[in-house]
Structure 1
Amino acid sequence: MAAPLDLDQLQTFVAIADTGSFTRAAERVFKTQSAVSMQMRRLEERIGKALFAKDGRGNRLTSEGEKLLNYARRMIRLNNEAVAAFDDNRLEGTLRIGTPDDYADRYMPEIIVRFAKTHPNVELFIVCEPSVDLAEKMARGELDIALVTHNPRIRASDVVRTEPLCWVSSANHPLPENASVPLAVGKRDCGWRQAACSALDATGKEYNILFTSWSSTVVAAAVLAGMAVSVLPESALRSGMKVLTQADGFPALAPVQIGIMKRPGLSPSLSTAISNHITACLDNITPQVTGDDLDGDLKGLARIPRARQNQLLSGW
């Protein structure tokens, strides 16, 4: 029988993938750099494949490393759930969570299920409002945790996911040629609306705001009915939507970052528990539709590893 994989080695491996550096990973897992290097050599020997390749002065994951990363995250997550299930000092109380409704629709089901399994004595109180309003509630101490669109110019949050922001229309209703683009977007202070309008302004493409709503359901309905174009993060794409690219005359948009805000004074154990569940669930999210369901080339949209976020987003 083959020897099982070492969870400690897998945790170090994930830390390297997340930080993009053996040195920073060593700091995260409280080991020396030589100990980290030794662990990775042993892991490669156990797998029988090279997990890292030289990339200039640093290292990047090989295709085999990317394959192992998915398994490593799942094994660590399952281990943490198992340990928590037998913890006699379980967390108790109420946790007030805020999230925009589009994030709630896509991300919260798995987060709630996983958290409830490991912390059944914690009541979750969930508020669905725009990121702007959630930040204000956090400032007033009305929420403990908020999942928001990261915008360092306006509010501080810890980035937990980065993905492409896509132009979308209906796959079943073609847009009229040479016409002003009808948009379905959030209110004026919505970051995605501002990004869309700024991109269209920069290219001189005519557009008009046809629908304004904070409800992701309303915006999606307008798109699927063929009445408007909108912008959505990759994971929020739905069956029946078409991704519009530069070939369709739509400019590329900066990636979306999702961040976590935490109330100062929140119990460290409760904060760590929910933060870990949110991060793990977002790592596990995949697009809701496949390339076969979209007329647009969704398969060509590269998901951006968290380890490279700072590199890719420098300058924004």
Structure 2
Amino acid sequence: MRNLDIGLLRTFVAVAERESFTNAAEKVYRTQAAVSQQMQKLESVLGCALFERVGRRKKLTVEGVRLLEYARRMVGLNDEAYRVITQQAATQPVKIGACADAVDTLLPAYLEICAENFPNLSIDIQVGRSRWLASALRKGDIDLMLDITPHPEFAHTVLRTSPVAWIAGARYHPQAGASVPLILMEAACPFRSSMVQALTEAGIPWHAAFETSTLAGVRAALRAGLGVTARAVEMLAPDLRVLDPQARLPALPPISFCLYWRADASHESAMKVRHLIAPH
């Protein structure tokens, strides 16, 4: 008898409901490529095709339709069992420190997961810069840390690796051959160092058009058309856009959102939240 993996079934339900590997990836917090690999594995285990392409959508085959109701029940029973066994233990408040980029993008979805599984758990969110976050975790002022800056001294897991793009507002129009106006964070920031290094190595002139201490300030400057910046693609909004190749700006390395913790100091509630956010 072969066992069906709950993780594969959870992704299968997401694809079935959203009719797209890309849209399902957002639901299960994986990349599109990972979702595709999971569905290939599930089809291999079952020995049949579960999806067929209809235009741009993924539609269920006859076998996929038959599996969907079982998958929903199995995932639901798994989640119910997890909540019943674990939610009583997660009673001590959990303090999570996060950088502004993570608060803006990843954290809301993770908080929703925590609320569904531990409805009585108190979570305290503290937002700060990387140096302060590391100090707070080191001293035990926070239990978990979500950041984009590497902190090798702490145990960690990578939650997501995201492409970094050159972003501008609708009002910005690049001028060929002109110095690139950069919108920068004042403090040490991996995005700042990444774009400065890339432009310098490419021999492209640049200047600081606007500097701010907050991510809200970066957004305001972008929307005003004051210049461009580099950010993870999760920051994109309807009034912001990725610069097209005609801007001739150099490619930028991806950024990783990581969850950090002190291996010697996590209390039980923090450990429950950590395993819920990053089960692998």
Query: Which residue is 2:192 aligned to?
Result: 193
Letter of the 1:257 counterpart: S
Letter of the 1:110 counterpart: A
TM-score (norm 2): 0.70
Q: Deviations over 1:230-275 (max 9, x none)?
A: 11101111112221254421100111111111133213x4344322
Q: Does 1:212 align with 2:211?
A: yes
Q: Judging changes above 3 Å, is the alpha-carbon distance between structure 1 residues 104 and 46 closer, same or farther for their aligned structure 2 residues?
A: same
Number of residue-to-residue matches in the alignment: 234
State the secondary structure of the residue aligned to 2:210.
Answer: strand
Q: Deviations over 1:143-187 (max 9, x none)?
A: 100001142668663211101011111134312333221111223
Letter of the 2:49 counterpart: K
Please give the root-mean-square deviation of Cα atoms over the aligned residues, in Å. Answer: 3.6
Q: Judging changes above 3 Å, is the alpha-carbon distance between structure 1 residues 202 and 153 closer, same or farther for their aligned structure 2 residues?
A: farther
Q: Is the 8 A contact 1:172 1:240 kept in 2?
A: no
Q: Judging changes above 3 Å, is the alpha-carbon distance between structure 1 residues 103 and 152 closer, same or farther for their aligned structure 2 residues?
A: closer
Query: Which residue is 1:243 aligned to?
Result: 242
Q: Is the 8 A contact 1:184 1:230 kept in 2?
A: yes
Distance in 1 (alpha carbons) for counterparts of 2:143 and 2:220: 32
Q: Does 1:135 align with 2:131?
A: no
Distance in 2 (alpha carbons) for counterparts of 1:119 and 1:162: 27
User: Quick check: 229-238 or 207-216, which moved more?
Assistant: 207-216
Letter of the 1:251 counterpart: P
Distance in 2 (alpha carbons) for counterparts of 1:50 and 1:43: 6
Query: Which residue is 1:83 aligned to?
Result: 81
Distance in 2 (alpha carbons) for counterparts of 1:166 and 1:10: 34
Q: Is the 8 A contact 1:185 1:209 kept in 2?
A: yes
1:105-120 → structure 2 map (5 Å cutoff): 105-120=104-119
Q: Is the 8 A contact 1:150 1:159 kept in 2?
A: no
Q: Is the 8 A contact 1:165 1:256 kept in 2?
A: yes
Distance in 2 (alpha carbons) for counterparts of 1:109 and 1:41: 30
Query: Which residue is 1:121 aligned to?
Result: 120
State the secondary structure of the residue aligned to 1:86.
Answer: helix
Q: Judging changes above 3 Å, is the alpha-carbon distance between structure 1 residues 196 and 98 closer, same or farther for their aligned structure 2 residues?
A: same
Letter of the 2:94 counterpart: L
Distance in 1 (alpha carbons) for counterparts of 2:210 and 2:219: 11
Distance in 1 (alpha carbons) for counterparts of 2:74 and 2:270: 19
Query: Which residue is 1:49 aligned to?
Result: 49
Letter of the 2:175 counterpart: P
Distance in 2 (alpha carbons) for counterparts of 1:249 and 1:154: 38
* 5+ residue gaps, structure 1: 1-5, 15-39, 52-62, 281-305, 307-316
How far off its partner does 1:224 sit? 1.5
Query: Which residue is 1:294 aligned to?
Result: none
Q: Is the 8 A contact 1:164 1:255 kept in 2?
A: yes
How far off its partner does 1:205 sit? 1.0
How far off its partner does 1:78 sit? 5.1
Query: Which residue is 2:35 aligned to?
Result: none
Q: Judging changes above 3 Å, is the alpha-carbon distance between structure 1 residues 132 and 81 closer, same or farther for their aligned structure 2 residues?
A: farther
Letter of the 1:134 counterpart: L
* 5+ residue gaps, structure 2: 11-39, 52-57
State the secondary structure of the residue aligned to 2:209.
Answer: strand
How far off its partner does 1:105 sit? 1.9
TM-score (norm 1): 0.63
Query: Which residue is 1:266 aligned to?
Result: 266
